[in-house]
Structure 1
Amino acid sequence: MSADFWAGYLSGAAGILIGNPLDLVKTRLQAGKTVPSLETTTTQTTAAPPPRSFKEHFDRSGTLVRGTTAPLLGYGALNALLFVTYNRTLALLDGSSVAPTSFLNVYCAGAAGGLATFFVSAPTELIKCRAQVSTDHAASSWTIAKDVWRKEGMRGLYHGGGITSVRDAVGYGFYFWSYEWSKQAMSSPDDSDRQTAMKVLLCGGLAGIVTWASIFPLDVVKTRVQTQLLQPALHIDGDAHPLLPGRSHGKRLNTLQIAREAYRSEGAGVFFRGLGICSVRAFVVNAVQWAVYEWMMRLLQQG
């Protein structure tokens, strides 16, 4: 395997370990109200329960690491695939992946990398979000994955894959563009190793914030699409939609219907719910990820 593969893999895993608690908070804020468990939804599709308080959402010590398994295994591979595709595409478009001359090429290479991660990103995001949103304490990433596979097969694991791929293409385009732009703007030939390291942390953190700010509404809709199985019944055009697969009197809503219903019931602010906590997480996680990536690339290339 190439150096950028392993550097990407390890930096992705490090980011998940650091950022999962804040990611859990973001996902639950995005998803809105949920019913107690998968088992409850099969027999109870009446009125939605009252909103749970923050304390009720995080009432156990294991809650803040919920949903870590799927992204820890998947995001390392996703990040490796992302950086390998980005570097190869940028080298093809710009002639060099080390010192690109065109920020448009950087954006296009980042978007290509985002699209390439679809095969890993879609099922990983679905399992992670459902594990984080579920209030069934017995639910884990593994049990949720088995349940989805048993009921719906491979197609179920890629539910919401369309909006996930759009989110990733747009987001990772801005991710690499903002990192490369800020890195070139801040770098100086006279920088010491310590100054270079601090600037990598700062540029990585800023890239994370820019990325999430650019795609946050898409991510809110994606989260609701992938977790609608755990949501109370919605009423569209006067008809109840329990959102449970396999039931003759209900059906899942598509991406546009989810977005319209969210706007109708909660207003435009719903598409930015959780952006504050996400921005904090994005700065910390991506500062660490880029620092680990740059350090690993230097170490592996020297080796």
Structure 2
Amino acid sequence: MTEESTYIPTDSHDALRVTKDLFAGTISGITQVLVGQPFDTVKVRLASDTSNKYKGAGDVVKKLISQEGPLAFYKGALTPLVGVGACVSTQFAANEYMKRVVFKNEKHLTSFQYYISGSVAGLANTFLAAPIEHIRSRLQTQISGKLGPLDVIKQVYAKGGIPLLMRGFIPAGVREAHGMGLYFLTFEWLVKREMINNNIERKEISSYKLCLFGALAGYSMWFTSYPIDFVKSRLQTDNLESPKYKGSLDVIKDVWKNQGPKGFFRGFLPTILRAGPANAATFCAFELTMRLIG
């Protein structure tokens, strides 16, 4: 496949274009939460488990169902339904802006340009993702399930203000910059390949292929960035009263010393199981929404 970047005139001056990107991103974000939240809850429970309460993903599932009920898989879902909708809309809008305005080409960018576009989108999203994921993680790890999003926000803010709400910002930023770079690169490269090999327009790509490409994009992100996300989760679920970790390096040293390299992959199974369906749904929802609204 060639890597040349041929300029294709677009409707980049369309006043509603950014609004459309944000709307389609919001729809895809909500779809991602509905499909992926149960997997994410299991992942966070495992990643935050410092006392070895759970033997593995299967054990988390059994205990959630028996002790807290099936709805426990959607603990903290309200926050991501609103927050992830905003996050994903930011990611997709920033990625589309980079393609359309910065690189002045929506159709065929080079792989490097796709990676940079995705990385910028990830960095832009970090300012939303860090606090939103912090609150969601604390909701997902509470056993009684009595606190709501506002309760947790007030609790965290009272303990440390904005800096504590933004806890985990650095690993979240690293994960987003690299992970989103590969995420969008994978999807866009596969779309580009499909268009060139079959001489078709983007809108002609079938839904099942959009799902397949989205799933592969999700795998490319998580296979390369999960340990970074693990460190973020440990920081964001640390005890508020007597925190064990001062920062990312403390988490890395502690996990390496007590569990070795494999410790950074605790919770990896539910994450990878989630990556396929959640990201297939995310990209398919975005592309189909964009086709619908024009």
Cα 1:191–1:108 shift into 2, 3 Å: closer
Q: 2:230 aligns with which of 216, 220, 234?
A: 220
Which stretch of structure 1 is more off in the superposition, 176-185 or 19-28?
A: 176-185
Q: 2:63 aligns with which of 51, 56, 73?
A: 56
Structure 1 partner of 2:74: 65
1:172-223 CA-partner distances (Å, limit 9, x unpaired)? 0000001011222334236998961111010001101111111000001110
Q: 1:289 aligns with which of 276, 279, 282?
A: 282
2-structure distance, mates of 1:212, 1:73: 23
Q: Are the equivalent residues in 2 in contact too, given 1:100–1:106 (CA < 8 A)?
A: no
Matched, 1:162 2:161: no
TM-superposed deviation, 1:263: 1.2
1:203-253 CA-partner distances (Å, limit 9, x unpaired)? 0011011111110000011100111116xxxxxxxxxxx734xxxxxx642
Letter matched to residue 264 of structure 1: K
Q: 2:89 aligns with which of 70, 80, 92?
A: 80
Which stretch of structure 1 is more off in the superposition, 77-86 or 213-222?
A: 77-86
1-structure distance, mates of 2:246, 2:64: 26
Q: Are the equivalent residues in 1 in contact too, given 2:30–2:81 (CA < 8 A)?
A: yes
TM-superposed deviation, 1:147: 0.8
Q: 2:121 aligns with which of 107, 113, 118?
A: 113
Structure 2 partner of 1:278: 271
Structure 2 partner of 1:236: none
Name stretches of at least 5 consecutive residues in structure 1 with no aligned partner.
34-47, 231-241, 245-250
Cα 1:279–1:79 shift into 2, 3 Å: same
Matched residues, number:
269
Which SS does the other structure have where 1:159 is aligned? coil
1-structure distance, mates of 2:78, 2:251: 27
Matched, 1:202 2:212: yes
Letter matched to residue 13 of structure 1: I
Matched, 1:130 2:147: no
2-structure distance, mates of 1:166, 1:193: 33
Q: Are the equivalent residues in 1 in contact too, given 2:68–2:143 (CA < 8 A)?
A: no
Structure 1 partner of 2:103: 94
Q: Identity of counterpart residues, as a percentage?
A: 29
Letter matched to residue 56 of structure 1: K
TM-superposed deviation, 1:129: 0.8
Pairing 1:212-291 to 2, within 5 Å after superposition: 212-229=222-239, 243-244=242-243, 252-291=245-284
1:103-159 CA-partner distances (Å, limit 9, x unpaired)? 101100100000101221111010011111222321332321121122222222101
2-structure distance, mates of 1:258, 1:135: 23
Q: Are the equivalent residues in 1 in contact too, given 2:28–2:283 (CA < 8 A)?
A: yes
Name stretches of at least 5 consecutive residues in structure 2 with no aligned partner.
1-15
1:49-107 CA-partner distances (Å, limit 9, x unpaired)? 8557533344222311101111111111111111111111222443212x133110110
TM-superposed deviation, 1:278: 1.1
Which SS does the other structure have where 1:136 is aligned? coil
Output the TM-score relative to the length of structure 1. 0.82
Which stretch of structure 1 is more off in the superposition, 132-141 or 191-200?
A: 191-200
Which stretch of structure 1 is more off in the superposition, 148-157 or 189-198?
A: 189-198
Which SS does the other structure have where 1:138 is aligned? coil
Q: Are the equivalent residues in 2 in contact too, given 1:186–1:199 (CA < 8 A)?
A: no
Cα 1:18–1:191 shift into 2, 3 Å: same
Output the TM-score relative to the length of structure 2. 0.85
2-structure distance, mates of 1:92, 1:211: 25
2-structure distance, mates of 1:220, 1:25: 13
